[in-house]
Amino acid sequence: MAKHDEGYKSIFSHPEIVRDLLTGFVHEDWVDKLDMKTLEKVSSQFVSPELLKRDNDSLWRVRYGEEWIYVYLLLEFQSTPNDWMALRILSYICLLYQDLLKNKDKNLTRNGKLPPIFPMVLYNGDEKWNPDTNISALIDTIEGDLSCYQPSFQYVFLDEKKHGNNDLQEMRNLTAAIFNLEQGRSPEDISNIVELLSSWLKQPEQAPLSQSIAVWIKTVLSASHFNDADLSNETLQLEEIREMLAERVKKWPEKWLKEGEAIGEARGKIEGKIEGKIEGKREGKAELLIDLLQKRFQPLNKAQQDLVYSLKGKVITSAIEYLFQASSLDEIFDYINTLESR
């Protein structure tokens, strides 16, 4: 698992995050009846080490009246959807139930039955998720009705990219803030979100969560924004990252422009021509704009890329500077068309 994914899993090992995930994104009546003070991560005393070793899983339990409900989270980091996800989760749940039966006195409900499980998949990939969430869609039909003999099961699917534009001031939801950060919005947005998180997590008992978020943010941003800073200190705090962001946020567009020009200059020198150097600068900026657009919004098709490569250097520079004010790819291209028509 990549460092980014490890840090993400670490964040979801904190009860505050799981609480805000349930209360902020699961809009069902039973959630209001959960005793969130009892929310606890399931340890090896409840299930086998084999089940807990699953890299991307997070297993919790919480009181619902006198009974426990198990919350099974599958943190999905693959870049493409998994058509067999329903079968995969069902197999995990069956393993969990088998483990719970090993200690019936502690794990069965007051009625002597297995506790309910709430399975949820969190997805942060770029490709649209099309797989059906019900396992019945994976089982073929034959002449006659065998449906009553087939397993009935479905999981809850949450696409984080559809929940990365929340009003955080109003929600005051830690998980929503993480989703917003995950979408890689503008430097100003990132700085504002980190500032909110820093203000929300000031209490001493919140220090472990604050540290996990700081480590994750450091991993996500260091390659593109913090490569000129010393981030080797693993104990770097969220407040320190907030201060570093505040210092650098206005310099990033200028820095990216210079990097784009450097790419072009290198190409020009290789070609050994003044014309090549000038054209190289323009193409370097074009490549940079394409890269930034794809990171913030979505992959560009060939026609869109060709359009960017055809732009004048000044137009590309203006587009890069405008990039973080735009809310969509269409808005960027409308802005470019306006510049081109002048």
What pLDDT is recorded for position 166? 61
Specify whether 270 is located in the same domain as 222.
Answer: no
Condensed to tens digits (0 to 9), the pLDDT of residues 148-172 reads 888 888 999 988 777 766 667 677 8
Distance of alpha carbon 84 from alpha carbon 138, whole angstroms = 8
What pLDDT is recorded for position 280? 54
Q: Is the pLDDT of residue 263 over 60?
A: no
Last residue of a domain, one of 150, 175, 200: 175
Range in 18-27, 243-252, 261-270, 301-310 with the lowest mean pLDDT: 261-270
Q: Residue 317: phi, psi to the nearest 5?
A: -60, -45
121 three-state secondary structure: strand
Q: In which band, very low, low, confident or very high, does the pLDDT at 122 lie, cut at 50, 70 and 90?
A: confident
What pLDDT is recorded for position 278? 43
Specify whether 198 is located in the same domain as 317.
Answer: no
Q: Which domain holds residue 41?
A: 3-175
Percent of the chain with pLDDT over 70: 69
Distance of alpha carbon 114 from alpha carbon 98, whole angstroms = 10
What pLDDT is recorded for position 228? 46
The count of structural domains within the chain is 3
What does pLDDT average to over the chain? Answer: 76
Nearest to 117 by CA among 46, 197, 60, 161: 60
Q: Residue 83: phi, psi to the nearest 5?
A: -65, -20
Q: What is the pLDDT averaged over residues 45-57?
A: 57
Specify whether 240 is located in the same domain as 330.
Answer: no
Q: What is the pLDDT averaged over residues 212-229?
A: 63
Specify whether 23 is located in the same domain as 79.
Answer: yes
Of the two residues 223 and 104, the one the predictor is more confident about is: 104
Alpha-carbon torsion (313, 317, 320, 322), positive or negative: negative
Q: What is the pLDDT averaged over residues 319-329?
A: 76
Specify whether 67 is located in the same domain as 205.
Answer: no
Specify whether 292 is located in the same domain as 158.
Answer: no
Q: What is the pLDDT averaged over residues 73-98?
A: 82
As beta bridge partners, residue 60 has: 41, 71
As beta bridge partners, residue 75 has: 122
Question: What are the CB-based long-range contacts (under 8 Å, 24+) for 219-228?
Answer: 219/3, 219/4, 219/7, 220/4, 220/7, 220/181, 221/190, 225/187, 225/252
Structure tokens at 21: 């995930």
Q: Is the pLDDT of residue 2 over 80?
A: no
Specify whether 267 is located in the same domain as 282.
Answer: yes
Q: Is the pLDDT of residue 36 over 90?
A: yes
128 three-state secondary structure: coil
Cβ neighbours, 10 Å, residue 271: 13
Distance of alpha carbon 252 from alpha carbon 184, whole angstroms = 14
Q: What is the pLDDT averaged over residues 308-318?
A: 85
Q: What is the pLDDT averaged over residues 129-140?
A: 90
Cβ neighbours, 10 Å, residue 266: 13
Range in 7-21, 97-111, 140-154, 251-265 with the lowest mean pLDDT: 251-265
Q: What is the pLDDT averaged over residues 309-334?
A: 81
Specify whether 146 is located in the same domain as 209.
Answer: no
Specify whether 84 is located in the same domain as 214.
Answer: no
Range in 4-8, 84-88, 111-115 with the lowest mean pLDDT: 4-8
Give the total residue count for the chain: 342
Distance of alpha carbon 129 from alpha carbon 119, whole angstroms = 17
Specify whether 104 is located in the same domain as 194.
Answer: no
Specify whether 21 is located in the same domain as 105.
Answer: yes
How many angstroms from the chain centroid is the CA of residue 321? 25
What pLDDT is recorded for position 184? 58
Paired sense of beta strands 117-123 and 67-76, if any: parallel
Q: Is the pLDDT of residue 279 over 70?
A: no
Last residue of a domain, one of 133, 155, 175: 175
Are the CB atoms for 100 and 114 separated by under 8 Å? yes
Alpha-carbon torsion (38, 44, 45, 46), positive or negative: positive
Last residue of a domain, one of 194, 218, 248: 248
Q: Is the pLDDT of residue 34 over 90?
A: yes
Specify whether 40 is located in the same domain as 142.
Answer: yes
